[in-house]
Amino acid sequence: MKTTHNILFQDARDLKEIPSESVDLVVTSPPYPMIEMWDEMFSHQNPEIQKALACGDGKQAYTLMHEVLDAVWSEVFRVLKEGRFACINIGDATRKVRDDFCLYPNHARIVNYLLNIGFSVLPDILWRKQANTPNKFMGSGMLPAGAYVTLEHEYILIVRKGSKREFKTENEKENRRESALFWEERNIWYSDVWTDIKGTDQKLPNAMSRLRSAAFPFDLAYRLINMYSVKGDVVLDPFLGTGTTTAAAMTSARNSIGVEIDESFEHAICPVTHHIVDFSNDYLYSRLLRHYAFVQNRIQKSGALKYTNRHYDCPVVTSQEQFILLNGLKEVQAHGDNVFDVTYTTKPQTWNLEHASETLVGNKTKRHTKPFQLNMLDAK
């Protein structure tokens, strides 16, 4: 099993290298209009933006910044296959331009454009990131009628091109079953408010650390990829930044294409490929351990579960989880021009029981007893 990952350093407003109807999922986060750190980036792409900001016309700058993004959303619509999704992480902006303080509702402006170009809009996810700083309140303090609520959430817009995707052949159905989520993951991942992913908690090794705070967390990209695509699909991120989507696609056994206008990000993206095998295998292992902890707890509380996952010989709640298979990574091969191939194991991986026990209970002296056998936890 192999996946391929392409990184294109170019402007995503014109993606002519990517054929129409060739992409299965878009996961992305654009530069946020009217957030100051992106003023220069937008102005570079349309110098009228700088002029509008300089003369204090916030609404005109906002309109022009969105016109830059609109061109990318049109390309996203073109390259997506029928029945496929785009997941767009976007935050609104609050800003004072001259004396006018207001909210620039980026999410609403983008949804509106996506509807106009033909996407169907689905329920979005509200990603709640708590800012625990004492100065998070803005405006007139304790005095009424002049304070603003704190902006602590972002959106993940979910849209689909065309009607529902179909899985017709036996191979497609089998691949879909292997790509399923665990029941307890479904309950959290498909809820419309995410509070468990922190904006800064990347959990990545140093060499994979983010260059800019604008990177979204690995968990966010990984979840979306696993919720809205199946193994072997092609995932596109037209605003790749530090390469989080590429890394999450590698871990998820999906192919990917990442597009980034700023070539200096090459220095952030390439180290990811050096560490991704160990990082991904640890990540997949932790995912299985969380499932293992969940079923142990559930069995203790409510008794035996009816179904067993065939690959891990592990109890699962529903029949749909019986074939889940997380493919471990074997190696990454770099080709010229920022193309990377990843090879995977096609059998369940065997991990060391002692390490599993420690990770699971968080206490090196304590060992858990196994109420049932797990392939993944078999001692060597």
Ligand X SMILES: C[S@@+](CC[C@H](N)C(=O)[O-])C[C@H]1O[C@@H](n2cnc3c(N)ncnc32)[C@H](O)[C@@H]1O
Residues that bind ligand X (CB under 6 A): 11-13, 29-31, 41, 45, 214-216, 238-239, 241-242, 244, 259-262, 265
Q: Where are the alpha helices (DSSP H) in the chain?
A: 39-45, 48-54, 58-79, 106-116, 170-178, 183-189, 218-228, 244-251, 266-302, 353-361
Amino acid of residue 378: D
What minimum distance in Å lies between the beta carbon of 125 and ligand X?
A: 15
What minimum distance in Å lies between the beta carbon of 12 and ligand X?
A: 3
The residue (of 41 and 197) whose beta carbon lies closer to ligand X is: 41
What minimum distance in Å lies between the beta carbon of 262 and ligand X?
A: 4
Instruction: Decide: 87 and 157 in contact? Cβ < 8 Å.
Output: yes
The residue (of 110 and 324) whose beta carbon lies closer to ligand X is: 110
Phi, psi angle pair for 247, to nearest 5°: -60, -45
How far is CA 232 from its chain centroid? 17
What minimum distance in Å lies between the beta carbon of 189 and ligand X?
A: 19
List % helix, strand, coil for the chain (3-state, nearest 5): 40, 25, 40
**Residue with the shortest CB distance to ligand X:** 241
The residue (of 53 and 215) whose beta carbon lies closer to ligand X is: 215
What minimum distance in Å lies between the beta carbon of 315 and ligand X?
A: 35
Q: Rounded CA gap, 244 and 250, in Å? A: 10
The residue (of 6 and 244) whose beta carbon lies closer to ligand X is: 244
The residue (of 30 and 315) whose beta carbon lies closer to ligand X is: 30
The residue (of 111 and 215) whose beta carbon lies closer to ligand X is: 215
For 286, which DSSP code?
A: H
Q: Rounded CA gap, 103 and 58, in Å? A: 11
What minimum distance in Å lies between the beta carbon of 29 and ligand X?
A: 4
Q: Rounded CA gap, 347 and 294, in Å? A: 23
What minimum distance in Å lies between the beta carbon of 76 and ligand X?
A: 11
Instruction: Decide: 351 and 217 in contact? Cβ < 8 Å.
Output: no
What minimum distance in Å lies between the beta carbon of 8 and ligand X?
A: 9
Q: Burial, 149: exposed, middle or buried (Cβ in 10 Å; 0-12, 13-18, 19+)?
A: exposed
What minimum distance in Å lies between the beta carbon of 265 and ligand X?
A: 6
The residue (of 29 and 251) whose beta carbon lies closer to ligand X is: 29
DSSP 188-244: HHTSSEE-S--SS-----GGG--SSTTPPPHHHHHHHHHHH--TT-EEEESS-TTTH
The residue (of 25 and 259) whose beta carbon lies closer to ligand X is: 259
The residue (of 119 and 218) whose beta carbon lies closer to ligand X is: 218
Element at 372 (helix H, strand E): none
